[in-house]
Structure 1
């Protein structure tokens, strides 16, 4: 096997997740999508934005990152 700087890419198969949200949250998400689309001059569906919104939220949550690091160290 070749010794490459780039390791094998991780699994990128999307996982479908269905959730129910409150009407207030749905309106807020729809408003966010409208503002996003106006800001960038392109139309992105809410369903396309939500995974990126969740990823950004998790990436910015330092408490989550610290706790997650602790549980991954415990994993066998």
Structure 2
């Protein structure tokens, strides 16, 4: 079988999570949304804006966490080396 450069198409479907925040974190999140959108003091659709902002915040947090990135790269390298041997082609 021909070995293709792309062996699998990653799952890129969004996953919906439901979380609970403390009142303090929720207030700070709403303030953050106001500051980012430049609408401090004006009413905004904060639920939609906060829901769009949280994934960006979580993603940025994980991107800048050096210990996480080190473990992630190590795991990806192990997975790739385990699947690259003869007889493991898809």
Higher RCO structure (Cα 8 Å, ≥6 apart) = 2
- Unaligned runs of 5+ residues in structure 1 are none
Q: How many residues of Structure 1 are paired with residues of Structure 2 in the alignment?
A: 68
Return the offset for 1:63: 1.0
Q: How does 1:60-75 map to 2 (within 5 A)?
A: 60-72=64-76, 73=78
Specify whether residues 22 and 14 from structure 1 end up closer, same or farther in structure 2 by C-alpha distance, changes over 3 A only: same
Return the offset for 1:62: 0.6
Name the larger-Rg structure.
2
TM-score scaled to structure 1, two decimals?
0.71
The residue that corresponds to 2:63 in the other structure is 59
TM-score scaled to structure 2, two decimals?
0.61
Q: Which runs of 4+ in 1 moved over 4 A?
A: none
- Unaligned runs of 5+ residues in structure 2 are 40-44, 83-90
